[in-house]
């Protein structure tokens, strides 16, 4: 470049930049204005220093005429493109084009800058050596005193590496998402505030099934089950493994079971302020929740357990029926024996029956023998180990065992169990028998009432250190006069007494008392029958049958 050419170029650059700074076009990026306007009021900036500032700017700066003919390029431009100033001055900016940029992009570029607006975008450029790079470019039009475009000011930087990094990151993200989506288990990543950061297909499918956000249900269930404190786990705590939780959602038909594990994940904080932070300060922790559905296997276990309970209860029922039948026979046999004894004492005191003595003795002996054999045949009380029992669970099991009879009688069950009920020490089978007896009675009362609408309500709650179970029905009720008698052995108030020995309530009462509790028929209840069972949580459950 000759001295004269250099002086002209220098004058044009100063002119272009001064005009630009006097009225930067709307939309000019802030950093461009800052790059040229380092000392604030540029009129005080000596032109040489002014040019020096542009010259040393770390971004590639070029100034062109309205046809993109390059008038000036700074040293960052030389470094980035590989072209010297002598190579580019007087040439069109298109010399950088790699021809991989779609024509529509150039058309948009020119349309924008010709309208006097700033264009920002990305182009594929060629360096002098031929290798391509991705240029993030911004072009600002500079107007002359007539308001016509006099120059264009271009600034660009190489974002090839950034782009490659973004692409790699996007690929990794896609790969992770694909792997997560293909996984059959529910996966969710949550921060310490319980905000969902990431989920997978299985999680989304669960939203549809449950009709609500599964995360809230999982967190509630884990809080109840293991006292999960999310902010603690995300802070310093440890994860957890294979915690079985039950999700009972509004929209769901039946409860779903999941085996949950939680892994604490340390995510590096990407906020600017964390740049100088070290260790835990720079970390942001999340919880990766992995939930495996186990509803099917759980249902199989429950079904097997119910079958076992069903068999056990059937056996218990059989023994009970035998006990009732033999007890009734003993009771009935006792009456003629008492009469014989009375007759014998009368004959002994000189009554008319003196010649009947031997016959009566023989009848008495035979009767007493029969009583003894019956006593021997009476099945002994079944002994049962005590265990921690939850009356909600027992009631639920008995209800499931009674499903057929409830359906056959057309009974609507209103289940109002307390969500949390203290456990008590008791004999599970005996207590199931008690509950089964009350439910069977309600079904029979509803059948005998002949009502069209048949309802049974089951309520449980904690009251005065006791677990209270209320069984209500809108059947025919028990008359006031029969309430006390109902607990007497061999009393039967049913219209259809087939299969009833009148020992059920007596036995149920025995079970309640042996657990330190009570059973009571509510005499004030109208429109049916209500029975209260009260069982203290600390009951020793004795050793009685
Ligand atoms: P061209 O024929 O130059 O242009 C393609 C289309 O652009 C044309 O069909 C037409 O629609 C439109 N067009 C071109 N010139 C004008 C004009 N003067 N007025 C109205 N419309 C027009 N290009 C790069 O590839 N890399 C860069 O780094 C780059 N930096 C630039 C910096 C500045 C300050 C300016 C003003 C332009 C820059 N350009 C850059 C655009 C460049 O001038 C070319 O337009 C582009 O490279 C396409 O060149 P081409 O020869 O393939 O097609």
User: What's the pLDDT score for residue 185?
Assistant: 95
Question: Which atom of ligand 1 is nearest to 153's Cα?
Answer: 34
Residue 6 vs residues 3, 48, 201: alpha-carbon distances, Å: 5, 13, 65
Q: Whose CA is nearest to atom 30 of ligand 1?
A: 93
Record the tokens describing residue 309, joined without a space. Answer: 């309970």
CA-closest residue to ligand 1 atom 5: 106
Structure tokens at 206: 């669960």
> By the 8 A CB rule, do 69 and 92 touch?
yes
CA of 464 to the centre of ligand 1 (A): 87
104 lines ligand 1 (CB under 6 A): no
For residue 154, the 8-state DSSP code is E
Question: What angle separates helix 201-210 from helix 160-182, to the nearest 10 degrees?
Answer: 50
Separation in Å, CA 528 to CA 332, 456, 461? 33, 10, 21
pLDDT of residue 29: 60
For 211-263, what is the HEC assignment? Answer: CCCHHHHHHHHHHHHHCCCHHHHHHCCCCEEEEEEEECCCCCCCCEEEEEEEE
Give CA separation, 162 vs 68, 100, 169, 264, in Å.
27, 19, 10, 30
Question: Across-strand partners of 124?
Answer: 134
Q: Which pLDDT value is given to residue 282?
A: 56
The closest residue, in CA terms, to atom 29 on ligand 1 is 93
Dist. CA 75–CA 3, nearest whole Å: 19
Question: Are the C-beta atoms of 193 and 235 separated by less than 8 Å?
Answer: no
The one-digit pLDDT tens for each residue of the chain (545 residues) are 555 555 565 666 767 777 776 776 666 666 566 656 543 444 445 556 666 777 888 889 999 999 999 988 999 999 999 999 999 999 999 999 998 999 999 999 999 999 999 999 999 999 999 999 999 999 999 888 888 998 899 999 999 999 999 999 999 989 988 999 999 999 999 988 889 999 999 999 999 888 888 998 899 889 888 888 887 777 667 789 999 988 876 655 677 889 999 998 877 667 777 667 666 665 678 899 999 999 999 889 888 888 888 888 888 778 878 887 888 888 888 888 888 888 888 766 555 555 677 888 888 888 889 889 888 888 776 678 899 998 988 998 899 889 999 999 999 999 888 767 788 999 998 999 899 989 999 999 999 998 999 999 999 999 989 999 999 999 989 988 888 888 876 677 777 766 665 667 888 899 999 999 999 999 999 999 999 999 998 744 443 33
Compute the distance between CA of residue 486 and CA of residue 491 in angstroms, rounded to an integer. 6
CA of 4 to the centre of ligand 1 (A): 28
CB neighbours of 97 closer than 8 A, spacing ≥ 6?
123, 124, 125, 126
Ligand 1 atom nearest 68 alpha carbon: 36
Name the phi and psi angles at 354, rounded to 5: -60, -35
**Which long-range contacts (C-beta less than 8 Å, at least 24 apart) are formed by 318-324?**
319/379, 319/382, 320/433, 320/503, 320/507, 321/501, 322/378, 322/379, 323/378, 323/379, 323/503, 324/501, 324/502, 324/503
Distance 36 CA to ligand 1 centre (A): 24
Alpha-carbon gap, residue 62 to 78, rounded angstroms? 10
| Cα–Cα distances in angstroms (integers) from residue 93 to residues 125, 127, 139, 160, 486, in the given order | 10, 12, 12, 19, 106
Ramachandran class of 141: left when φ > 0, alpha when ψ lies in -120 to 50, beta otherwise: beta
Cα 85 to middle of ligand 1, angstroms = 19
Ligand 1 proximity of 137 Cβ (cutoff 6 Å) = yes
> DSSP state, 116?
T
Q: Which of 74, 92, 94 to mutate to test ligand 1, by most ligand atoms within 8 A of the CB atom?
A: 94
Tell me if 114 CB under 6 Å of ligand 1. Answer: yes
CA distance 176 to 266: 17
Atom 42 of ligand 1 has which residue's CA nearest to it?
94
Ligand 1 contact via 106 beta carbon (within 6 Å):
yes
What is the CA(108)–ligand 1 centre distance, in A? 10
Q: Is 115 exposed, middle or buried (0-12, 13-18, 19+ CB in 10 A)?
A: exposed
Residue located nearest, by CA, to atom 8 of ligand 1 = 107
Contact predicate 21/41, CB 8 Å: no
Q: Identify the H or E element spanning 393.
A: helix 391-401
Report the distance separating Cα 452 and Cα 302, nearest Å. 33
**In this structure, are strands 60-64 and 70-73 parallel, antiparallel, or unpaired?**
antiparallel
């Amino acid at each position: 470049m000759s001295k004269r050419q250099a002086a002209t170029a220098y004058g044009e650059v100063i002119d272009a930049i001064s005009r630009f700074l006097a009225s930067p076009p709307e939309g000019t990026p802030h950093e461009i204005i800052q790059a040229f306007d380092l000392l604030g009021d540029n009129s005080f900036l000596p032109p040489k220093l002014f040019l020096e500032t542009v010259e040393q700017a770390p971004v590639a700066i070029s100034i062109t005429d309205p046809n993109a003919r390059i008038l000036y390029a700074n040293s960052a431009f030389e470094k980035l493109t590989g072209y010297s100033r002598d190579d580019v001055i007087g040439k069109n900016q298109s010399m950088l084009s790699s021809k991989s940029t779609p024509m529509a992009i150039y058309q948009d570029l020119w349309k924008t800058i010709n309208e006097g607006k700033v264009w920002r975008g990305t182009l594929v450029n060629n360096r002098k050596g031929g290798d391509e790079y991705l240029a993030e470019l911004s072009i600002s039009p500079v107007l002359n005193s007539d308001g016509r475009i006099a120059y264009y000011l271009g600034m660009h930087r190489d974002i090839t590496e950034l782009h490659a990094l973004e692409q790699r990151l996007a690929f990794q993200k896609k790969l992770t998402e694909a792997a997560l989506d293909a996984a059959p288990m529910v996966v969710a990543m949550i921060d310490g505030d319980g905000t969902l950061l990431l989920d997978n297909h299985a999680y989304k499918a669960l939203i549809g099934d449950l009709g609500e956000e599964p995360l809230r249900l999982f967190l509630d269930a884990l809080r109840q089950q293991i006292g999960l404190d999310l902010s603690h786990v995300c802070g310093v705590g440890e994860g957890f493994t294979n915690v079985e939780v039950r999700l009972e959602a509004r929209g769901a038909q039946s409860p779903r079971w999941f085996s949950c594990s939680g892994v604490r994940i340390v995510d590096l904080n990407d906020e600017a302020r964390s740049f100088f932070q070290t260790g835990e300060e720079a970390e942001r922790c999340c919880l990766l929740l992995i939930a495996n559905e186990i509803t099917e296997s759980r249902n199989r276990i429950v079904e097997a357990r119910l079958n076992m309970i069903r068999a056990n209860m059937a056996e218990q029922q059989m023994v009970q029926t035998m006990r009732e039948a033999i007890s009734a026979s003993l009771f009935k046999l006792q009456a003629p024996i008492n009469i014989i004894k009375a007759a014998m004492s009368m004959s002994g005191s000189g009554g008319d029956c003196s010649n009947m003595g031997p016959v009566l003795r023989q009848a008495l002996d035979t009767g007493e023998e029969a009583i003894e054999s019956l006593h021997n045949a009476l099945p002994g009380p079944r002994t049962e180990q005590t265990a921690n029992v939850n009356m909600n669970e027992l009631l639920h099991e008995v209800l499931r065992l009674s499903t057929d009879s409830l359906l056959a009688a057309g009974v609507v069950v209103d289940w109002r169990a307390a969500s949390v009920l203290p456990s008590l020490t008791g004999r599970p089978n005996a207590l199931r028998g008690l509950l089964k007896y009350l439910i069977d009675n309600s079904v029979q009362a509803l059948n005998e009432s002949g009502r069209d609408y048949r309802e049974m309500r089951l309520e449980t709650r904690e009251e005065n250190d006791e677990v209270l179970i209320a069984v209500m029905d809108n059947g025919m009720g028990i008359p006031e006069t029969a309430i006390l008698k109902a607990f007497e052995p061999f009393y039967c108030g049913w219209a259809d007494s087939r299969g009833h020995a009148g020992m059920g309530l007596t036995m149920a009462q025995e079970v309640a008392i042996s657990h330190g509790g009570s059973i009571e028929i509510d005499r004030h209840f109208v429109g049916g029958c209500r029975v209260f069972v009260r069982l203290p949580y600390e009951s020793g459950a004795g050793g009685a049958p």
